[in-house]
Amino acid sequence: YYPSEKLIEAIESVCGIKLDEEERKRIVEIPRSKKIEELLKSKGFSKGKKVDIGIKVAESMSVDEIDDEIRGILERIYSSLKIGR
């Protein structure tokens, strides 16, 4: 669900590394989660770093970049919380 370029930027920023062209291509392959874990392991990071990367990507995304299905879920959650107040 993450835009590829934002994912790459987040990995580089959070991990303080520069991905080469091959790593950039590999990281956006499906299943992304597994590819991210493989990259992190090869660079000496734990799988837990994925959480920090996910937060960084989410913070950098505009509303228009959020997948429609995810946006719908978030809107339902927001509405439920708003009604419950």
Report pLDDT digits (tens) over 64-73. Answer: 999 999 999 9
**Does residue 53 carry a pLDDT above 80?**
yes
Q: HEC string of 61-76?
A: CCHHHCCHHHHHHHHH
Determine phi and psi for 6, rounding to 5 degrees: -70, -35
Return all residues near 70 (Cβ < 8 A) that are at least 6 apart: 1
Determine phi and psi for 66, rounding to 5 degrees: -80, 130
Residue 64 DSSP code: G
Tokens for 66? Answer: 């959020």
If pLDDT is split at 50, 70 and 90, which confidence band does 1 have? confident
Around Cβ 21, how many Cβ atoms within 10 Å?
7
Calculate mean pLDDT across residues 50-72: 94
| Per-residue model confidence (pLDDT) at position 85 | 65
Report pLDDT digits (tens) over 3-49. Answer: 999 999 999 999 999 999 999 999 999 999 999 999 999 999 998 99
